[in-house]
Structure 1
Amino acid sequence: MAHVNLSLQVIPRVPDERIYPVVDTVIHMIQQTGLKYEVGPMETTIEGELDELLGIVKKAQELCVKEGATRVLSVVKIDYKPEGVTMDEKIKKYR
């Protein structure tokens, strides 16, 4: 399957002072995958194979709970086209 882009925003239900540390843990997990990613102010976009990216979403949920979240709200956006899509092709004119 061709590369897709997946944007993930996790909102863990934790005390306010724990939100950034929990989100940082998720971002660190994404960094460890070796996939191309870009952290934004509201979400992190990752480039890769769809099945692998969906696995990352699942792992992010589990990680938030492991870090103390009693509930996790996630927003996921997927950009797919059969021949593949890259972050570079979408944002290179802005860089």
Structure 2
Amino acid sequence: MHNYLVNASIQILPIVQDKHPYEWVDEAIVVIQQSGIKHEIGPFATVVEGTYAEVMAIVNAVNEHLLSKNCSEWIASVQINMRSKSDITANEKVSKFGL
């Protein structure tokens, strides 16, 4: 895969009854925060920005963390936006709205 910037939305949907699902989501967000990758936390998903390899490493790290903490079941929903010959950033999509 290329080394251009991509951006992705990562949403974790725990299917659990052992504790409140938000607690598992909070743990996933901490993994993303600790990665050092550019990110923005939203109410439904966290948007990350980096190379394809960096983004996929984050997705893997979140899943590995949940597995290691014995989260019984979850859905990891990931949307990736990429271009073949240049960077694509979240900022270019939302800057026209003053965000």
TM-score, normalised via structure 2 length: 0.86
Q: CA 1:68/1:18 → structure 2, altered by over 3 Å: closer, same or farther?
A: farther
Question: Using a 3 Å threshold, how does the CA distance of structure 1 residues 79 and 90 change in structure 2: closer, same or farther?
Answer: same
Q: SS where residue 31 of structure 2 aligns?
A: helix
Task: Choose the corresponding residue for 2:89, options 82, 86, 91.
Answer: 86
- How many angstroms apart in 2 are the aligned matches of 1:77 and 1:7? 5
Measured on the aligned residues, the alpha-carbon RMSD in Å equals 1.5
Corresponding position: 1:71 with 2:68: no
Mark the runs of 5 or more structure 2 residues left unpaired by the alignment: none
Segments ≥4 residues shifted beyond 6 Å: none
TM-score, length basis structure 1:
0.89
Alignment match, 2:26: 24
Any unmatched runs of 5+ in structure 1?
A: none
Tell me the SS of whatever aligns to 2:20: helix
Pair 1:8–1:27, CA change in 2 (3 A): same
- Distance, in Å, in 1 between the alignment partners of 2:95 and 2:59 is 26
Aligned-partner Cα distance in 2 for 1:60–1:25: 8
User: How far apart, in 1, do the equivalents of 2:71 and 2:19 lie?
Assistant: 12
